[in-house]
Structures are given as C-alpha cells and as structure tokens.
C-alpha cells in the first residue's frame, strides 16, 4: 500500500508534467503563464514535502514564503509583457510574435 507521502510525490510529478505540457503544447501566452504557475506550485509542494520528510519544516516554510514572493513578482512582470504584446499585436498567439522581429 502506498503511503500518503508517496501520493504527494505522485501528485507533484503529475503537476510537473501538466505544467510542462501547458508550456510546450500551447500557442497562447495566457496558457503559458498558467503552465509556469503550475510548475511553481509543484516546486512549492516539493519543498514542503522535503522539509517535512527531512524534519526541518521551519526552513521549508521560510523557503516557500520566499518562493511565493518571487513567483508573484514573476507573474506581474510576465503579465505586463503579455498585456503589452496584446496591445501591440491584438493577439496573444506565440506564432504571431515572429512578426515582431526588427
């Protein structure tokens, strides 16, 4: 029988696969943002699981708080870039970004 930590590990791997799939398989920039967000949440869960298994949950929690702050900053900057791409191009398709070459 699989333990609860094994289930968490399987869930983390599935989240990593889903995030990578969202980034690689789509042409929509919003979906790419969602994929990055899923990858960051999988990293957060893996840090929490490693901290709990290692017996140092306080360090893991402080690292996760730092990761969440960095994640929010990344999402704000990339969201601004996507918004400016939409304003300039009237489309958020990544195949259309090749037209922006100077």
Half-sphere exposure of 61 (CA within 13 A, CB side): 5
Which among 20, 26, 19, 27 has a CA at the least distance from the CA of 91?
A: 27
Whether 99 has a pLDDT exceeding 90, the answer reads: no
Q: What is the largest CA-CA distance in the chain?
A: 59
C-alpha distances (whole Å) from 38 to each of 7, 28, 80, 85, 88 are 18, 16, 19, 22, 27
The domain limits of the chain are 10-90
* pLDDT value, residue 1: 64
The answer to whether 42 and 49 have CB atoms below 8 angstroms apart is: no
pLDDT per position as a tens digit, 12-28: 999 999 999 999 999 89
pLDDT per position as a tens digit, 24-52: 999 899 999 999 999 999 999 999 999 99
Cα separation, 51 vs 80, in Å, equals 34
Q: Which of 1.10.287.110, 3.40.50.2300, 2.60.40.10, 1.10.287.3510 is the CATH number of 10-90? A: 1.10.287.3510
Average pLDDT, whole number, for the chain?
91
- pLDDT band per the 50, 70, 90 thresholds, residue 5: confident
């Amino acid at each position: 029988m699989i333990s609860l930590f094994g289930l968490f590990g399987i869930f983390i791997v599935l989240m990593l696969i889903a995030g990578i799939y969202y980034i690689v398989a789509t042409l929509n920039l919003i979906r790419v943002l969602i994929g990055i967000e899923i990858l960051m949440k999988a990293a957060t869960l893996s840090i929490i699981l490693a901290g709990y298994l290692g017996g140092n949950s306080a360090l893991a929690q402080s690292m996760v708080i730092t990761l969440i702050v960095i994640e929010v900053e990344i999402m704000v900057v990339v969201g601004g870039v996507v918004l400016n791409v939409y304003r300039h191009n009237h489309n958020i398709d990544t195949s259309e970004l090749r037209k922006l070459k100077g």
